[in-house]
Amino acid sequence: MLTASIATFEIRYQLKNPVFWVAVAIFFLIGFGVAASNNVSIGTPGSVHENSPFAITIALALLGLFYLFVITSFVANAVVRDDVTGFGPMIRATPVGRSQFLAGRFLGGLVIAILGYMAVPLGIALGSAMPWVDPETVGPGGFATYAWPFLVIAIPNLILSSALLFSLATITRSMLASYIGVLILVMGYLTVSAVLGNEPAYQDALARFEPMALGAIGEISRYWTAAEMNTRAIPFEGNLLINRLLVQAGKPRGQGRGGAATGSDSACAPQLWHRSFAGEFLDAVED
């Protein structure tokens, strides 16, 4: 109950933060522009509806990469601000356990990150309903068209991103270091995607281990027609299922302190990258 109370306080605090509403407005306008303007595109084929299941899935996966900077302002701020404001020693002097405190702050920041990212599908839905939009460029939409990719693509990505950035802030205790870390992650992701994305030999590996799921989405829809992109939801199977399970994978078997694998388990680099941050976070909680 104490963790829930801390999370509720964090949610109320962030809802009063102007940064939250500015971020909501920006990503709402991006989603709105994708559906309502011919000058904004996310790279879908011209015959694919702007509010099709495929277009919404791509938008949620792609924009999540840039949403990392917004997530940092939520989850990293939840860790750092007590030390910045001078309330850190006072809070640590209370009977509140460190694990409960960090868990409550993390859950509050995660909920805020999810609420803020809902602005993207809301913007797409409203933009596709504008009177100046050509009816030939939009589909029927519907709640499931927006809810399914948000559940399968956006929420797992937000959980992973929030955990990584919360861990980074817990370790560094610095907003500047957190933003530098985000910049390195984004640049590294873009570099790896640019180098390996067009290599057939790596497509299966990217579909399984690429954390934003763009590789898995591309593999599933590679041979889809425009009609299928306009009507079919992304199926939760194959490499996409593996990808989502790996993204949400917790502390592996045989893992010691510091996130290092001590057993015979082997993993690819992205998985170890996730594990190391998870291990560091658990260490920070246990200290």
pLDDT at 265: 35
CA dihedral 32, 36, 39, 43 (to 10 degrees): 70
Which range in 24-28, 89-93, 171-175, 257-261 is most confidently predicted, on average pLDDT? Answer: 24-28
- Low-confidence winner among 30-34, 87-91, 198-202, 269-273 (lowest mean pLDDT): 269-273
The CA-based angle 199-202-206, given to 5 degrees, is: 115
Give the distance from CA 140 to its chain's centroid: 27
pLDDT band at 39 (very low <50, low <70, confident <90, very high): confident
pTM tops 0.85, yes or no = no
The answer to whether residue 129 scores a pLDDT higher than 70 is: yes
Does residue 71 carry a pLDDT above 50?
yes
Tell me the pLDDT band of 91, cut-offs 50, 70 and 90: low
Burial (0-12, 13-18, 19+ Cβ within 10 Å), 217: buried
Contacts 24+ apart (CB under 8 A), 223-232: 224/54, 226/45, 226/47, 226/48, 229/44, 229/45, 229/48, 229/52, 229/53, 229/54, 229/55, 230/48, 230/49, 230/52, 230/53, 230/54, 230/139, 231/52, 231/53, 231/139, 232/53, 232/54
Confidence of residue 42 (pLDDT cuts 50, 70, 90): confident
User: For 148-157, 162-171, 247-256, which range has the lowest pLDDT when averaged over its residues?
Assistant: 247-256
Which one has a higher pLDDT value, 53 or 266?
53
The distance of Cα 190 from the centroid of its chain, to the nearest Å, equals 15
Give the phi and the psi of residue 271 in degrees, each rounded to 5.
-70, -45
Confidence class for position 96, pLDDT limits 50, 70, 90: low
Q: What is the pLDDT of residue 6?
A: 85
pLDDT at 146: 96
The 10s digit of each residue's pLDDT in 232-267 is 999 999 999 999 998 887 433 333 333 333 333 333
pLDDT of residue 90: 56
